[in-house]
Amino acid sequence: MSFSALFSPLKVGTLELQNRFVIPPMGTNHANSDGTVSDRNIAYWQARARGGWGLIIVEVTAVDPLGKAIPYQLGIWDDKFIDGLRRATEAVHQYGAKIAVQLHHAGRQTYRSVIGEQPVAPSPVSCPVCREIPRELTVAEVYALIEKFGDAARRAREAGFDMVEIHGAHGYLIAQFMSPHANKRVDEFGGSFANRMKFPLEIIRNVRRKVGRGFPLSFRFSAEERVPGGMDTEESLAAARLVEAAGIDVLDVSVGVYGSMEYIFATPALPPGHSLPLAAAVKKAVKIPVIGVGRFNEPHLAENAVQTGKADLIAWGRQSLADPELPNKVAAGQVDEIAPCIACNQGCVGYLFDADKLLVSCLVNPFCGREVAMEIKPAQKKKKVVVVGAGPGGLECAWVAAACGHEVVLFEKEAVAGGQWRVGAIPPAKQPIAAALAYYLRMCNKYGVKLRMETEATAELILAENPAVVVLATGGETDFPPLQGIDNPRVVTASEVLEGKVDPGPAVLIIGGGLVGSETADFLAEQGREVTVLEMLPEIATDMQDVVRQFLMDRLYHFGVDIETETTVREITADGVKAIQDGQEVRLEGYDNIVIATGIQSVRGLEEQLKGKVPELHIIGDAAEPRKAIDAIEEGAALAVKL
């Protein structure tokens, strides 16, 4: 496939883009604490500029200190920010990419802990996620904010940006004024559709006056908010025509607000290009170019979207985190080497709001957000490296070490790579994990990793390789709880069920309501089985990202899965269990099979056999401590670049 549409140039106002690949604005938390541009910002954008993207839109950049949504957000509310932002534009321009900046105010979608004061909004109605009642802006304050957007745009132009994007999407301040869901005013900025549109239109006019007629402007908005009483498609089509008439050169069409965040950060439960129909509808209503977005991770789908006229440009979002080199790889015919976004939301959304992380990274690409600290480059001293275990951590460590020039041998006892993570690709909406594993194997083959599949590594086999480094990535295995009756032949593991090694009966009881147990319940319930999940905690599936969990929970309720929380199993009986619920013993019986999904324990039997016999011995991933795949992959990469 030639991908001729994706690589055709396009004019946005006076701005000519070399191709249709766009990195949309995604908050990263990479700025300095005072909102100035950091070295990490520069390295992150440079990595993507080198990757061949036609347009990079710098993420949420606050026009006012009260407008910050995240702690380490970029600022543009003062001239002091211009020099740092100019560093960013110069860094990107040297690779031929164009760069825009998104002007942003969070409104009610922030926290007092982030901005130091009560949030502000059109009306004193709290965000259903942030849950802090905002202070209603006065009319004078509204007009002052209009000026601040214009002043910020002027600074952006002075800093060398090629375009400015005005953020009217995802439930932030401009969207709050536009939406009847958040705007309850009865003055000139509220009530009717025309009044609700006054704030964004006045901002656009103010920006246009301050940057001049020829400077390109983008407007991002959610064509559907998907909350009760929110903006719908028909109002959004009318809004699109109004902002076009006010001077906008391109429309960036998204979906959702914080109250419908599962559509902003789409999971694999939503198909690639899930919001493309909205972009197509907007494109029919206006004459200016339209950017389509919505979990794009395959160039074939993006090419088709442009070829069929559904969108003029494609924003790749989290896929650009997974692989900053995507456009270059597509151009070179290396589609099979694209690191796929699996829409897990762990390294991006999860880390962004994790107080211990506060950065944007990627499960599949741990170098994302760490461009300054981690780099694949030729090793000073090439070594013989043996990796044991082809799970996610072992695969990542193997290919990265080989890419750095080391000689790598990878032992795997199974015929198929992936370990527990491969099993995790089997439940509904989890197939993207398989794409990630295929990518890791492709990279291992590209860099010459010697794969010894169906070979259980022994100390003798490992030592026979005469390695300088041994990495144990042997993962984990089911941790059976010490229960009476655990040897009941009806007891099986979640892995056995998912891999098809056992055929459960019509009624199944699952002990353990974490990620594995919940997804196994989803898998079985979809097949029409009667499923009960027992969990000690007050809720199930608390070890997965909220937006991913929401779709899972919807499916479990749809299939009628019986969820018994705050339930502690004491004994396995002939066809069920004895358990404690609300301080009372209960019996749950009549099940054909009992599935154990209570966690895993580390497999590290080789450690003692190899200690003192190899120059370097490292243990990563679940073999070190049972955790998530993202931890194993990060450890594998970090180790590989330091060998």
Q: Give the active site residues.
A: 172
Q: Is the dihedral of CA 207, 209, 215, 216 positive or negative?
A: positive
> In Å, how far are 43, 86, 255, 267, 529 from 358, measured between CA atoms?
17, 24, 24, 21, 41
| Integer CA distances (angstroms), 405 to 136, 249, 373, 377, 448, in order | 60, 47, 19, 8, 10
Encoded tokens for 207 = 């920006």
Percent of the chain with pLDDT strictly greater than 90 = 99
Give the single-character DSSP code of 484: B
Helices (H) and strands (E) in the chain, counts: 23, 28
Q: What is the DSSP string of 174-239?
A: HHHHH-TTT----STTSSSHHHHTHHHHHHHHHHHHHH-TTS-EEEEEES---STT---HHHHHHH
Indicate the pTM of the whole model: 0.95
Counting residues of the chain whose pLDDT is more than 70, the rounded percentage is 100
Q: Can you tell me the distance from the alpha carbon of 270 to that of 276, in angstroms, rounded to the nearest whole number?
A: 12
What are the CA-CA distances from residue 445 to residues 410, 442, 533, 584, 640 (Å)?
11, 5, 41, 57, 16
pLDDT of res. 338? 98
Q: Given strand 576-581, what is the order of strands in its sheet? A: 567-572, 576-581, 584-589
Quick: pLDDT tens for 254-311.
999 999 999 999 999 999 999 999 999 999 999 999 999 999 999 999 999 999 999 9
Q: Report CA-CA distances (Å) from 602 to 20, 388, 621, 624.
A: 46, 14, 9, 7
Closest CA to 571 of 509, 504, 516, 629: 509
Give the H/E segment covering residue 253. strand 250-254
The string of pLDDT tens digits covering residues 454-492 is 999 999 999 999 999 999 999 999 999 999 999 999 999
Cβ atoms < 10 Å from Cβ of 557:
10
What's the pLDDT band for 353 if we cut at 50, 70, 90? confident
pLDDT value at 220 more than 90: yes
pLDDT of the residue at 597 = 97
Averaged pLDDT for residues 181-208: 98
Rounded to whole angstroms, the Cα distance separating 105 from 166 reads 10
Q: How far apart are CA 209 and CA 457, in angstroms?
A: 69
pLDDT band at 111 (very low <50, low <70, confident <90, very high): very high
Q: What is the mean pLDDT of the chain?
A: 97
For residues 203 and 198, what is the distance between their CA atoms, to the nearest angstrom? 8
Closest CA to 189 of 205, 178, 204, 173: 178
Structure tokens, 439: 């990518």
Q: Are 353 and 66 in contact (CB under 8 A)?
A: no
- Beta bridge partner(s), residue 75: 62
Dihedral in degrees, nearest 10, Cα atoms 525, 531, 534, 539: 40
Rounded distance between C-alpha atoms, residue 117 and residue 219, angstroms: 28
pLDDT band for 548, please (50, 70, 90 cuts): very high
Cβ-contact 347, 354 below 8 angstroms: no
Kindly list the distances between the CA atom of residue 487 and the CA atoms of 368, 493, 512, in Å, as whole numbers in the listed order.
45, 12, 17
In the predicted model, what is the mean pLDDT of residues 138-166? Answer: 98
Q: What is the rounded average pLDDT of the residues 368-390?
A: 97
Q: Is 443 within 8 Å of 403 (Cβ atoms)?
A: yes
Average confidence (pLDDT) over 515-542: 97
